[in-house]
A and B are shown apart, each in its own frame.
Chain A
Amino acid sequence: MDMTITEKILAAHARKEKVQPGENVWVDVDVLMTHDVCGPGTIGIFKEQFGKGAKVWDRKKVVIIPDHYIFTSDTHANRNIDILREFVAEQDLPHYYDVGTEDYKGVCHLALAQEGHNRPGEVLFGTDSHTCTSGAFGMFATGIGNTDAAFILGTGKLWVKVPESMRFEFTGEFPSYIMAKDIILQVIGDIGVDGATYRTMEWTGSAIMKFSMEERMTLCNMAIEGGGKNAVIEADDTTFEYVKRRTDRPYTVYHSDPDANYFFKKTYNAADMEPIVAKPHSPDNKALVKDCTDVKIDRSYIGSCTGGKLTDFLAAAKLLNGKKVAVDTFIVPATVEVEKDLQQEKLDGKSLMDIFKNSGCHIGDASCAACLGGPQDTFGRTHGTEVVVSTTNRNFPGRMGSKQSEVYLASPYTVAASALTGHITDPREFFQ
């Protein structure tokens, strides 16, 4: 055998002994995830193609997580939630996390993990490009459009072209001020926004395997910003421990063979890594934070599937604790579970929530919020020429709302340090 993890998972789901990169195969789908922005369109196509009375292929394998446009008065957005509700009722779907109820979760990629839908060895498709986040669990996960999702709803299958794999290894140990966000921005800067197009980004090495599941998710989350089809990290004890607390469903663990073929391999020395930003208007517009300290900011933003997890807020709180922010700072927990953790997790006897409130941050409710702009009344959305430093994933023109605003992507440490000074700031200034 000489296959990568991704090739092994796809082979198993195509019921084949072996698959080759470039080969088109039909795979059996374990989970299909959709949300409020793409769910209604998917449902529309499903009904058009399979008939009004059609049933989904397997009600237990469909997961619907409204998360994008939740706290808005936009009537079309609210109508879209109603379409999801109607479909869930009609199909009797058990995995629906409804808005305005205690089932509501928030951002789908973290909710999938927290609710036990991410399991090693499985194939998960989602109508969201950041579905690649789930690869952190040693599974195959990628984003698709409404048409492909509707095809899966009816058949439980989809064709995929087996991707070539790129292997990124980090040896040694990361410095304490480096986060997964710095690493993914470094690598995207190195390979470019189309450097992994159609390919797998496989992460490995002792430094990567020391990352928590949340940090691994950050790393895999932005594979799409390198053009990647999927990202993957071999499942290990850290994975098993996380999954065990969330689900008792059995799963299969795959490892890449030592003689597997890679399109590209690169090894980094973890100790050499430095805090990184992606300057406007592209995630590959890499610069060292220490070279951007003359950039004045109007706003900082900590949230999203990329940078709104407990780990991200723990990092921010460490720097903001006992200090006042110099610019408008928006805190948006990705999920309700993270929101609860902000109340319960303590630093110097204070909850993270209190630390953020005392330092003058604005706190929003769990959702995608301004990461992608959204309706006019979205929390934290830009409306003018704001310069924002953000823990989110994209900084193309207009991504956070206004076409005139400028977004710098950075780690929670860098965003918090910058919030305190009002200009882009190297977090090392706040590390003793």
Chain B
Amino acid sequence: MKHIIEGKAYVLGDDIDTDQIIPAEHLVYSLSDPEEKKNYGKFALSGVPTENAGLPDGGKVFVSEGKHESEYSIIVGGKNFGCGSSREHAPACLQIAGIQAVVAESYARIFYRNSVDGGFLIPFETQSNLTNETKTGDELSIDVEKETFTNKTTGKTHTMKSLGEIIEIIRAGNIFEYARQSGLIQPSETLNSP
């Protein structure tokens, strides 16, 4: 786990659902094949209507044509981020595009859980809505241990809500590593293998 996450902000609004994060027509690609899964980075956030893409101005392309990685590293969102489907392709596509953390006022349950259990990105919750004071392209810095969010462009720092006990899973890497480290499943992980 990184202690400091730095990079450019990509700002979105409230209720960003999984169809906007990764439209259903793209859910056909393999998540196991390293080459094929790049398609998920290519189409990440492609369902967001243009006027809402990269606030406050909108019209900001998240992943440039022909690429699968974004120039942005941190998403700043409003309430109920990741609502809708249970598709794990949603946090996965953001990770493939290079997103390391989402900072939102609140999350839909399954997206939050998938982000943590799969180790795709860290979903931080903020005390207040930061989308009004963050612009797409602002340089951000997150201190994961201190749970602080700093906008280097504006100079403002906020303490985020505590990750609580899920920090254990984030530190371990994913739910499997967490379960092995805490003795819930066997370390070698060949539970059922012959």
CA distance A372 to B22 in the complex (A): 12
B113: Cβ under 8 A from any A Cβ? yes
Interchain CB contact under 8 A, B110 and A155: no
Complex-state Cα separation, A334 to B15, whole angstroms: 28
Question: A129, B23: Cβ atoms under 8 Å?
Answer: no
In the complex, chain B residues whose CB is within 8 Å of the CB of A154: 185, 191-192
Complex: A155 Cα to B83 Cα, angstroms: 28
Among A37, A48, A54, A194: residue with most chain B CB under 10 A: A194
Task: Kindly report which residue of chain B lies nearest to residue A47, judged by CB atoms.
Answer: B32
Which of B25, B47, B189 is within 8 Å of A375, CB to CB? B25
> Which of A147, A157, A159 meets B118, CB within 8 Å?
A147
Contacts of B192 on A, CB cut-off 8 Å?
Answer: 50, 54-57, 154
Q: List chain B residues, Cβ under 8 A from A51.
A: 189-190, 193
Check B85 against A44 for contact (C-beta < 8 Å): no
Taking the complex as formed, is B20 at the interface, i.e. its CB lies under 8 A from any CB of chain A?
Answer: yes
- What B residues does A374 contact at CB under 8 A? 24-25
Q: Is the CB of B175 closer than 8 A to any CB of chain A?
A: yes
Binary flags per residue of A141-169, CB closer than 8 Å to B gives 1, else 0: 00111111001001101010000000000
Task: Knowing A38-B87, A44-B32 are in contact, say whether A129-B117 is a contact too (CB < 8 A).
Answer: no
**When the two chains form their complex, are residues A44 and B20 in contact, meaning their CB atoms are under 8 A apart?**
no
Q: Are A151 and B110 in contact (CB under 8 A)?
A: no
| A145 B108 Cβ-Cβ under 8 A | no
Please tell me if A69 contacts chain B, counting CB pairs below 8 Å: yes
Q: Mark B152-191, 1 if CB is under 8 A from A, else 0.
A: 0000000000000100000000111001000011000111
Contacts of A143 in B (CB 8 A): 85-86, 110
The answer to whether A144 touches B110, judged by C-beta atoms less than 8 angstroms apart, is yes
Does B89 interact with chain A (Cβ within 8 Å)?
A: yes
Contact with A along B43-76 (1 / 0, CB 8 A): 0000111000000000000000000000000000
Given A40-B30, A197-B80: A372 touches B24 (CB 8 Å cut-off): yes
Chain A, 35-70, contact with B by CB distance < 8 Å: what is the 0/1 string? 001101100110011110111110000000000110
Provide the B114-153 mask, 1 if CB < 8 A to any CB of A, else 0.
1001100000000000000000000000000000000000
Of A44, A55, A80, A148, which contacts B117 at CB under 8 A?
Answer: A148
What is the CA–CA distance of A37 and B79 in the complex, to the nearest angstrom?
A: 27
Interface of B is mostly: loop
- B83 — which chain A residues lie within 8 A by C-beta? 193-194, 227
Decide yes or no whether B27 CB sits under 8 A from chain A. Answer: yes
Q: For chain B, residues 1 to 45, give those with C-beta under 8 angstroms from any C-beta of chain A.
A: 15, 17, 19-20, 23-25, 27-32
B20: chain A residues at CB < 8 Å are 396-398
* Residues B193 and A54 in contact, CB atoms below 8 Å apart: yes
With both beta carbons as reference points, the residue of chain B lying nearest to A195 in the complex is identified as: B80
Among A49, A129, A375, contact of B84 (Cβ-Cβ < 8 Å): A129
Whether the pair A147, B86 counts as a contact (CB closer than 8 A) is no
CA distance A75 to B82 in the complex (A): 28
Q: Chain B residue with minimal CB distance to A228? A: B109
A25 at the interface (CB under 8 A from B): no
User: Knowing A41-B88, A77-B28, A373-B24 touch, does A397 contact B19 (C-beta < 8 A)?
Assistant: yes
Is the CB of A431 closer than 8 A to any CB of chain B? Answer: no
State how many residues of chain B have any CB contact under 8 Å with chain A.
48
Name B107's closest neighbour in chain A (CB-CB). A197
By beta carbon, the residue of chain A nearest B174 is A147
CA–CA, A155 and B86, complex, Å? 21
Taken together as a complex, chains A and B put the C-alpha atoms of A38 and B25 apart, in Å, by: 13
Establish whether residues A373 and B19, one from each chain, have CB atoms under 8 Å apart when the complex forms.
yes
Asked if A394 is an interface residue, CB under 8 A from chain B, the answer is yes
Q: Tell me the complex Cα distance, A104–B86, Å.
A: 23
Within 8 A of B (CB), among A125-145: 126-129, 131, 143-145
A399 contacts the other chain (Cβ, under 8 Å)?
yes
A148 CA to B117 CA, complexed, in Å: 7
User: Which residues of chain A have C-beta atoms less than 8 A from B88's C-beta?
Assistant: 38, 41, 127, 145-147
Q: Is B106 an interface residue (CB 8 A)?
A: yes
Query: Is A229 on the interface with B (CB-CB < 8 A)?
Result: yes
Contact assessment for A127 and B15 in the assembled complex, using a CB-CB cutoff below 8 Å? no
Output the least CB separation between A311 and chain B (Å).
Answer: 24
Q: Give chain B residues whose Cβ lies under 8 Å from the Cβ of A197.
A: 80, 106-109
B21 to chain A, nearest CB (A): 10
Residues of B within 8 A of A57 (CB): 192
Q: Which A383-418 residues have a C-beta within 8 angstroms of B? A: 394, 396-399, 401, 403
Q: 10 shortest A-B CB distances, which residue pairs?
A: A145-B88, A44-B32, A76-B28, A145-B114, A143-B86, A147-B118, A194-B80, A129-B86, A396-B17, A146-B88
A selection of 9 A-B contacts at a CB cut-off of 8 Å is A37-B27, A38-B88, A50-B189, A68-B24, A154-B185, A197-B107, A372-B24, A396-B84, A397-B19
Extra inter-chain contacts (15) besides given A127-B86, A155-B179, A394-B17, CB under 8 Å: A38-B88, A44-B31, A54-B190, A144-B110, A148-B113, A148-B117, A155-B184, A193-B80, A197-B106, A227-B83, A396-B20, A396-B84, A397-B20, A397-B49, A398-B47
Residues of chain B having any CB pair with chain A under 8 Å: 15, 17, 19-20, 23-25, 27-32, 47-49, 79-80, 83-89, 91, 106-110, 113-114, 117-118, 165, 174-176, 179, 184-185, 189-194
A residues whose Cβ falls under 8 Å from a Cβ of B: 24, 26, 37-38, 40-41, 44-45, 48-51, 53-57, 68-69, 74, 76-77, 79-80, 126-129, 131, 143-148, 151, 154-155, 157, 159, 193-194, 197-198, 224, 227, 229, 282, 372-376, 394, 396-399, 401, 403
